[in-house]
């Protein structure tokens, strides 16, 4: 038995960042992880492996569609799926080992095994019970089940199985046009699979800006993905290694069936808190199975905190990381803070989609007066040269004060461009502040400036 200032349960981006920050702040810290490797969903079966496959298949797409246009002749690369998998696994290993290195460097003890909290101030791992002045639950999330769809991780897969299918399917049905469905759907579509996305709503990526949703779906269709919208999946049936997906169209209740070699279930994730003993401990939960916390990530049980996918808010790695750092600082007696109004979200397809802050839809609902500055990448020289002119930047600012309220980008490097606007929002900047900032030419970021100019006297290049 050992005694710690802090024991963090879970080593995903929330947990490992929290543990490292606690140690840096002079607290004796351990992190419990039941997986074989550190890094949680994000590094092992989430952000990192999916981005590796998106990167590799984007290169293939470029070679097939754009190389010849630039005078680069020769045969397009063929796909060695086993090698691509090995590349992805290597990327995972480098990242998970990196966290192990950081734990050693910062003197964070890795308690290997599944942890539970038998009573406040104690964490049990295997047969050992450790003492902890503070416990941070960072146990993450898991795939939400869907009635009638049995995931076998072979033919009917979750995102985890989709990252390592035995072979590239000829026909793939994706259930859910959310972030996972469209990222992984893009991967297999680029690899030559016929991908059909079946979505319950009439638009893709719920919660995103309406104009972005429309253009995004249009561009994915152009790339070869098929969409069945307004359709509720009733169930899947697997026979002889093939699947049938039955869905009902909401408009007329008609039933339809799709054949597939692989089915990806991507209809959301839910908090994972199994085995922690939270009910026995008396930890309050929300109606959606999240650990209930106050503004400082404290639960109702003294000394027990929670962060990341296990609590409310967007299920994003960087949101978990920020909470990890903030709760560490709070525990160390400092002022931990997360600005939930400025958390960017990014979809790593091609083009990328990125957003921060309010959408027009929400502002309309609130009755708030706003103005919009929009600029198409068609007017951006760099984007045109790089065959990346599809998309736009949209900045939303307060009608009277010009203060930036949100931004929505679909286009090249959208996931990087959004951060200029995040920083501006953190500083309470007006659109004019961005418009008056010199931006290097030729860069994609000029499109952000032009959108800011469009909030005022107008852009130059449109």
Residue 276 touches which member of ligand FAD, ligand NAI, none, C-beta under 5-8 Å by kind: ligand FAD
Per the CB < 8 A criterion, the answer to whether 273 and 299 are in contact is no
> 290-305 burial, b for 16+ CB within 10 Å, e for fewer?
bbebeeebbbebebbb
Should residue 272 be labelled a site residue for ligand NAI when binding is judged by CB under 6 A?
Answer: no
| 18 CB-side CA count, 13 A | 36
Question: Cβ of residue 159: shortest distance to ligand NAI, in angstroms?
Answer: 7
Does 181 belong to an annotated binding site? Answer: yes
Question: Is there binding between residue 60 and ligand NAI (CB under 6 A)?
Answer: no
Does 267 contact ligand NAI by CB under 6 A? yes
27 near ligand FAD (CB under 6 A) = no
Q: Angle CA(210)–CA(213)–CA(217) in degrees, nearest 5? A: 150
What distance in Å separates the CA atoms of residue 363 and residue 408, rounded to the nearest whole number?
Answer: 14
| Residues 295, 301, 305, 306, CA torsion sign | negative
Q: Is residue 315 within the footprint of ligand NAI (CB under 6 A)?
A: yes
Flag whether 127 is marked binding: no
The sign of the torsion formed by the CA atoms of 118, 124, 126, 129 equals negative
Helix (H, G, I), strand (E, B) or coil at 106: helix
Q: Tell me if 110 contacts ligand FAD by CB under 6 A.
A: no
Instruction: Let me know: does 198 contact 233? Beta carbons within 8 Å.
Output: yes
Integer Cα distance of 146 and 46 in angstroms: 20
- Which of residues 29, 85, 159, 267 is near ligand FAD by CB under 6 A? 159
372 binds ligand NAI (CB under 6 A): no
Stretch that binds ligand NAI, among 14-22, 297-305, 311-319, 440-448 (CB under 6 A): 311-319
Q: Using CB under 6 A, which residues numbered 33 to 62 contact ligand FAD?
A: 33-35, 40-42, 46-47, 50
**CB nearest ligand NAI: which residue?**
178
Q: How far is the CB of 163 from ligand NAI (least distance, A)?
A: 11
* Contacts with ligand NAI, 324-363, as mask; x by CB under 6 A: ---------------------xxxx---------------
Say whether 441 is catalytic. Answer: yes
Report helix, strand and coil shares of the chain as percent, to nearest 5.
35, 25, 40
Region binding ligand FAD by CB under 6 A among candidate stretches 4-12, 73-81, 84-92, 439-447: 4-12
Among 19, 92, 146, 451, binds ligand NAI (CB under 6 A): 146
Q: Would strands 269-271 and 352-357 be described as parallel, antiparallel, or unpaired?
A: unpaired
Shortest distance in whole angstroms from residue 113 CB to ligand NAI: 26
* Cβ(151)–Cβ(265) below 8 Å: yes
Cis peptide leading into 442, omega within 30 of 0?
Answer: yes
User: Measured from the CB of residue 44, what is the shortest distance to ligand FAD in angstroms?
Assistant: 7
Number of shown-chain residues binding ligand NAI (CB under 6 A): 27
Q: Is 241 helix (H, G, I), strand (E, B) or coil?
A: coil
Torsion-angle region of residue 441: left (phi > 0), alpha (psi -120 to 50) or beta?
Answer: beta
- List 233's β-bridge partners, or say none: 247
430 binds, among ligand NAI, ligand FAD, none (CB under 5 to 8 A by kind): none
Span interacting with ligand NAI, options 122-130, 298-306, 313-321, 357-365, rule CB under 6 A: 313-321
DSSP secondary structure string for all residues of 200-249: SSSSSSTTS-HHHHHHHHHHHHHTT-EEE-SEEEEEEEEETTEEEEEEEE
- Rounded to whole angstroms, the Cα distance separating 382 from 356 reads 24
Among 65, 419, 441, 461, the one annotated catalytic: 441
For the bound state, the minimum distance from the C-beta of residue 311 to ligand FAD, rounded and expressed in Å, comes to 8
Q: Is 277 annotated as a binding residue?
A: no
Which of 92, 162, 180, 354 lies at the binding interface for ligand NAI (CB under 6 A)? 180
Phi-psi region of 377 (alpha: psi -120 to 50; beta: other; left: phi over 0): alpha
Strand partners, 248: 232, 255
Phi-psi category of residue 142: left, alpha or beta, with phi > 0 → left and psi -120 to 50 → alpha: beta
CB under 5 to 8 A by kind: which of ligand NAI, ligand FAD, none does 198 bind? Answer: ligand NAI
Reported residue count of the chain is 462
**Is the Cα torsion angle 301, 305, 310, 312 positive or negative in sign?**
positive
In the complex with ligand FAD, the residue whose CB is nearer, 389 or 421, is 421
**Annotated binding-site residue? 148:** no
Q: Which residues contact ligand NAI (rule: CB under 6 A)?
A: 146, 175-181, 183, 198-201, 206, 232-233, 266-269, 314-316, 345-348
Active site residues: 441
Binding-site residue positions for FAD: 51, 115, 309, 315-318
Binding residues: 51, 115, 176-183, 199, 268, 309, 315-318
What residue ranges bind ligand FAD (CB under 6 A)?
9-15, 32-35, 40-42, 46-47, 50, 114-115, 138-141, 159, 180, 272, 275-276, 308-310, 315-318, 320, 348
């Amino acid at each position: 038995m050992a005694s710690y200032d802090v024991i963090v349960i879970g080593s995903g981006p929330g947990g490992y960042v929290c543990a490292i920050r606690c140690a840096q702040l002079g607290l004796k810290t351990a992190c419990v992880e039941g997986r074989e490797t550190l890094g949680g969903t994000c590094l092992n079966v989430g952000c990192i492996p999916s981005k590796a496959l998106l990167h590799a298949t984007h290169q293939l797409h470029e070679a097939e569609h754009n190389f010849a246009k630039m005078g680069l002749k020769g045969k397009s690369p063929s796909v060695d799926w086993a090698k691509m998998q090995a590349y992805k696994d290597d990327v995972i290993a480098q990242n998970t080992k990196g966290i192990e290195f950081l734990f050693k460097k910062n003197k964070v003890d890795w308690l290997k095994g599944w942890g539970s909290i038998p009573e406040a101030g104690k964490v049990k791992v295997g047969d050992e019970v450790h003492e902890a002045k503070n416990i941070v639950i960072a146990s993450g999330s898991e795939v939400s089940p869907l009635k009638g769809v049995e995931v076998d991780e072979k033919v009917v897969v979750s995102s985890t199985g989709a990252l390592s299918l035995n072979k590239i399917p000829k026909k793939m049905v994706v259930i859910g046009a959310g972030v996972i469905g469209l990222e992984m759907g893009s991967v297999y579509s680029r690899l030559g699979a016929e991908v059909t996305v079946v979505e319950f709503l009439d638009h893709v990526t719920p919660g995103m800006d309406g104009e972005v949703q429309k253009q995004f779906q249009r561009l994915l269709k152009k790339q070869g993905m098929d969409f069945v919208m307004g359709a509720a999946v009733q169930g899947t049936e697997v026979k002889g290694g093939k699947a049938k997906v039955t869905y009902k169209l909401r408009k007329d209740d008609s039933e339809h069936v799709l054949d597939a070699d692989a089915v990806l279930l991507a209809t959301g994730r839910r908090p994972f808190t199994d085995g922690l003993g939270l009910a026995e401990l008396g930890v309050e939960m929300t109606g959606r199975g999240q650990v209930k916390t106050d503004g400082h990530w404290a639960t109702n049980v003294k000394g027990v905190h929670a962060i990341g996918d296990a609590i409310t808010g967007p299920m994003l790695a960087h949101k978990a990381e920020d909470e990890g750092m903030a709760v560490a600082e709070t525990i160390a007696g400092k002022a931990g803070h997360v600005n939930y109004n400025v958390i960017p979200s990014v979809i790593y397809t091609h083009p990328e989609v990125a957003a921060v802050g309010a959408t027009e839809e929400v502002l309309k609902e609130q009755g708030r007066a706003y103005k919009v500055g929009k600029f198409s990448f068609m007017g951006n020289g760099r984007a045109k040269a790089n065959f990346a002119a599809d998309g736009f930047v949209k900045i939303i600012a307060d009608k009277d004060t010009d203060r930036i309220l949100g931004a929505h980008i679909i286009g090249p490097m959208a996931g990087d461009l959004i951060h200029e606007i995040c920083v501006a929002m953190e500083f309470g900047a007006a659109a004019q502040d961005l418009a008056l900032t010199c931006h290097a030419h030729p860069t994609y970021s000029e499109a952000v400036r032009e959108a800011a100019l469009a909030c005022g006297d107008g852009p130059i290049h449109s």
